[in-house]
């Protein structure tokens, strides 16, 4: 069974940093492209970042480029999102998602809440 479990969320002050982790199991992690998707309270889904299966290709949404960094450690079956210079508008539930057919997200974690507030 595919499982994705996020951790590392919480309350952080504006300008602060946080590192999210996503532990994967039930599939060959190194073979899959992975993503982070977020959802602000009461709002829709917003794609945040992508990393290729090799880790050599990374994409970012304009709203986080230059502040967030995606990475992976295949030896630990884990995906990460380093978030720096956090803003109030980064407050959201963050999901890690495994890519499936042609750019779809076939599996999602349960999500982790990040709150940016003073």
Partner 1 sequence: SYVLTQPPSVSVAPGQAARITCGGNNIGSKTVHWYQQKPGQAPVLVVYDDSDRPSGIPERFSGSNSGNTATLTISRVEAGDEADYYCQVWDSSSYYVFGTGTKVTVL
The answer to whether 35 contacts partner 1 (rule: CB under 8 A) is yes
The answer to whether residue 100 forms part of the interface with partner 1 (CB under 8 A) is yes
Token pair, residue 116, equals: 């940016």
- Exactly one of 56, 75, 102, 118 binds partner 1 (CB under 8 A); which one? 102
Q: Of residues 14, 59, 73, 85, which one binds partner 1 by CB under 8 A?
A: 59
Rounded least distance, CB 109 to partner 1, Å = 7
In sequence order, what are the beta bridge partners of 3?
25
Contact between 40 and partner 1 (CB under 8 A)?
no
Minimum CB–partner distance for residue 62 and partner 1 (Å): 8
User: What backbone phi and psi angles, to 5 degrees, belong to 29?
Assistant: -55, -40
Binding to partner 1 by residue 78, rule CB under 8 A? no
Q: For 97-115, b where at least 16 C-beta lie within 10 A, e where not — what string?
A: bbbeeeeebebebebbebe
Answer yes or no whether residue 33 interacts with partner 1 by CB under 8 A: no
């Amino acid at each position: 069974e595919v499982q994705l479990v996020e951790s590392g969320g919480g309350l952080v002050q504006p300008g602060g940093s946080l590192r999210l982790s996503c532990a994967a199991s039930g599939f060959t992690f190194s073979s899959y492209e992975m993503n982070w998707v977020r959802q602000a309270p009461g709002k829709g889904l917003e794609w945040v970042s992508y990393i290729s299966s090799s880790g050599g290709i990374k994409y970012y949404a304009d709203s986080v480029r230059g502040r967030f960094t995606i990475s992976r450690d295949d030896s630990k079956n884990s995906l990460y999102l380093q978030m720096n210079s956090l803003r109030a508008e980064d407050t959201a539930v963050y999901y890690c998602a495994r890519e499936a057919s042609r750019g779809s997200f076939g599996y999602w974690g349960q999500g982790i809440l990040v709150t940016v507030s003073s």
